[in-house]
Amino acid sequence: MIEKISRQEILENLRDNRPMTLVEALPLRYFADAHLPGAININFDEVEQLAPKVLPDREALIVVYCANAACQNSAKAAFKLKTLGYRNVRQYAEGKEDWVNAGLETVGSRAAA
């Protein structure tokens, strides 16, 4: 079972500069259009190949998200990370849609401010 994290908790972590890596689990074209500030892109089907290179600390807080609550990419990516031995993985299940609907800033070619 992957623990969930809320938008509010993410905002508090960002505000307080708490160490956290945001990972968007969508294909690169969606990440390039708009992603949460500071996020990196690891498509859910590339986790096994990329995570060891870009996420070296298996104890660090990693927050995985995708498009919205119906999208399963973040759940799949989070499960794969846990399987690889990452111990502090949380899922922002509501995803980018929730972030944008709350009027929060995104980064990318179609970023919503």
Note whether 66 and 79 are within 8 A (CB).
no
On whether residue 64 sits in a domain, the answer given is: yes
The number of folded domains in the chain is 1
The reply to whether 104 falls in a domain is no
Domain membership flag for residue 105: no
Q: Residue 54: which domain range?
A: 3-99
| pLDDT at residue 113 is higher than 50 | no
Q: Is residue 108 part of a domain?
A: no
For residues 68 and 12, what is the distance between their CA atoms, to the nearest angstrom? 20
* pLDDT single digits (tens) 11-37: 999 999 999 999 999 999 999 999 999
- Per-residue pLDDT tens over the stretch 50-60: 999 999 999 99
Whether residue 106 is contained in a domain is answered as no
Q: How confident is the model at residue 111 (pLDDT cuts 50, 70, 90)?
A: low
Is residue 94, in this structure, part of any structural domain at all?
Answer: yes
Q: What is the CATH number of the domain that holds 28?
A: 3.40.250.10
**110: in domain:** no
